[in-house]
């Protein structure tokens, strides 16, 4: 296609010469700096006839006229270029190469000859030489759009993303803001993990087209991968205003808000998503998680129970439900949830610990509680929470001496835990170690001065 446009341009530019034989013409043809010298009238006539024959598809006749034109004026470089293009189209690469090499001897940076030379190399699959020629062309003539596009194509086929990115950037410098080019360049930067560069490209593209949803989506993703979460949320919120019914946009706001600890914003986003698509399990679970973090347990329970009805095997949902049931003293439900989790993950040490502690607090099924916490401690023998649970189970089984050993180890791991110090005080009290019990309760009170129950225990032991 390029050579046809080129030859049409030649025809239109040479036409005035028919009316002023021997006149001198200087013009850019196809690309910049391609010049005509003074032509002889006979050469001009043959060139025009050749171009007309070209446009009619009569390549044999065109070749004859090009050759006559060159015989009349051997310095007519555009004639050599035009004939070389015909040879190129006819697959006569060696003859085309001879012609463009002659042109380049006379004019080493002739842009049309360089383009034809690059075409020859591409047709012959000599991509290294094609790249070398096109790079020369693009350096010499930075605004040559065609050279940049060809280099981009070759580099992308070869998987050379960084090299392609250079020419995408140069194209943007030449033609200005362009959504498609910006998206392509940004995509290359994203694939090569140059997220900061992708952010810069998309940000500049947004400046010229602020409401383009493709650009906004790409920019939000780039911010996300560049770990600029607040900015990513801001862009997703802009997208949400433009695409109120876009589920993924609202979900992205919600997930990133959870990631950044902004649970109120996460709740709003997932509430919106839930209205758009009720009973979407992922949205419900995420909404429930955010509500749990905000200690809005009544709302969280409703949402998480809906999620559990959709997917009763999801461990995170069950893990979130169990403590809510416990806090509401709905132990039948909480025990049921713990049991379901252990069916799927019998060695889940966190659940083994939590379930064991729940049973110990209620002084029920203590042998089962002991078996579970022993199993957890085998996996993590120095875990302070597990040591404390073991101590508390033993306390409820009235094995106070053993309970003391585990709880002392627990307090060494968690010296700032009010709960562990309180447990230690209770154990010392049962063992008759009043002074040690008082000391442990006082330590717990320094951690939580508002605990009135601790104050009562201390007062009782002090008298």
- pTM recorded for the entire structure: 0.67
Cβ–Cβ < 8 Å for 117, 98: no
Q: In whole angstroms, what is the distance from residue 427 CA to residue 447 CA? A: 19
**3.90.190.10, 3.30.70.20, 3.40.50.150, 1.25.40.10: CATH of 382-463:** 1.25.40.10
CATH topology for the 142-226 domain:
1.25.40
Q: What is the pLDDT along the chain (463 residues), one digit of tens a residue?
A: 444 445 544 444 444 443 333 332 333 334 434 444 445 676 677 677 767 766 767 777 667 766 766 766 667 687 778 788 878 888 899 988 998 998 899 999 999 899 999 999 999 999 999 999 999 999 999 988 889 889 989 998 998 988 989 988 998 888 888 898 899 899 988 988 999 999 999 999 999 999 999 999 999 999 999 999 999 999 999 999 999 999 999 999 999 999 999 999 999 999 999 999 999 999 999 999 999 999 999 999 999 999 999 999 999 999 999 999 999 999 999 999 999 999 999 999 999 999 999 999 999 999 999 999 999 999 999 999 999 999 999 999 999 999 999 999 999 999 999 999 999 999 999 999 999 999 999 999 999 999 999 999 999 988 7
Cβ–Cβ < 8 Å for 34, 110: yes
Backbone conformation region of residue 433, classed left if phi is above 0, alpha if psi is from -120 to 50, else beta: beta
Q: In whole angstroms, what is the distance from residue 154 CA to residue 149 CA? A: 9
Domain map (residue ranges) of the chain:
1-126, 142-226, 382-463
Signed CA dihedral, 52, 55, 58, 62: sign only: positive
Q: Please tell me the CATH superfamily of domain 1-126, with its number.
A: Tetratricopeptide repeat domain (1.25.40.10)
The domains spanning 142-226 and 382-463 adopt the same CATH topology: yes
Q: In whole angstroms, what is the distance from residue 185 CA to residue 148 CA? A: 13
């Amino acid at each position: 296609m390029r050579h046809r446009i080129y030859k049409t341009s030649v025809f239109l530019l040479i036409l005035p010469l028919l009316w002023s034989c021997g006149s001198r013409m200087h013009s850019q043809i196809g690309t910049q700096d391609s010049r005509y010298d003074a032509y002889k009238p006979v050469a001009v006539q043959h060139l025009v006839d050749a171009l007309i024959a070209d446009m009619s598809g009569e390549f044999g006749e065109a070749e004859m006229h090009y050759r006559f034109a060159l015989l009349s004026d051997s310095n007519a470089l555009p004639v050599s270029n035009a004939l070389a293009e015909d040879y190129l189209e006819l697959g006569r690469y060696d003859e085309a190469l001879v012609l463009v090499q002659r042109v380049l001897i006379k004019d080493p940076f002739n842009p049309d000859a360089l383009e034809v030379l690059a075409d020859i190399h591409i047709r012959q699959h000599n991509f290294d030489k094609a790249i070398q020629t096109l790079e020369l062309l693009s350096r010499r003539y930075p605004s040559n759009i065609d050279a940049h596009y060809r280099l981009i194509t070759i580099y992308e086929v070869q998987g050379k993303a960084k090299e392609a990115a250079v020419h995408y950037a140069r194209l943007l410098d030449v033609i200005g803001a362009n959504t498609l080019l910006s998206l392509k360049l940004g995509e290359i930067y994203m694939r090569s993990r140059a997220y900061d560069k992708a952010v810069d490209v998309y940000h500049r593209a947004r400046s010229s087209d602020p409401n383009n949803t493709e650009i906004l989506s790409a920019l939000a993703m780039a911010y996300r991968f560049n770990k600029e979460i607040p900015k990513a949320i801001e862009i997703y919120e802009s997208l949400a205003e433009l695409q109120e019914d876009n589920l993924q946009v609202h979900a992205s706001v919600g997930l990133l808000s959870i990631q950044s600890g902004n649970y109120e914003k996460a709740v709003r986003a997932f509430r919106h998503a839930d209205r758009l698509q009720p009973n979407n399990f992922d949205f419900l679970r995420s909404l429930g998680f955010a509500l749990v973090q905000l200690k809005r347990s009544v709302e969280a329970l409703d949402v998480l129970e809906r999620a559990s009805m959709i997917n009763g095997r999801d461990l995170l949902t069950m893990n979130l439900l169990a403590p809510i049931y416990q806090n509401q003293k709905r132990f039948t439900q909480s025990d049921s949830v713990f049991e379901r989790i252990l069916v799927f993950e019998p060695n889940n040490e966190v659940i083994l610990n939590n379930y064991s502690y729940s049973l110990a607090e209620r002084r029920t099924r203590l042998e089962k509680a002991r078996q579970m916490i022993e199993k957890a401690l085998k996996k993590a023998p120095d875990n302070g929470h597990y040591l404390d649970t073991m101590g508390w189970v033993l306390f409820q089984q009235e094995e106070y001496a053993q309970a003391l050993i585990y709880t002392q180890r627990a307090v060494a791991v968690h010296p700032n835990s009010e709960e562990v110090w309180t447990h230690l005080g209770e154990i010392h009290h049962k063992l008759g170690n009043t002074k040690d019990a008082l000391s442990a309760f006082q330590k717990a009170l320094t951690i939580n001065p508002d605990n009135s129950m601790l104050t009562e225990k201390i007062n009782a032991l002090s008298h």
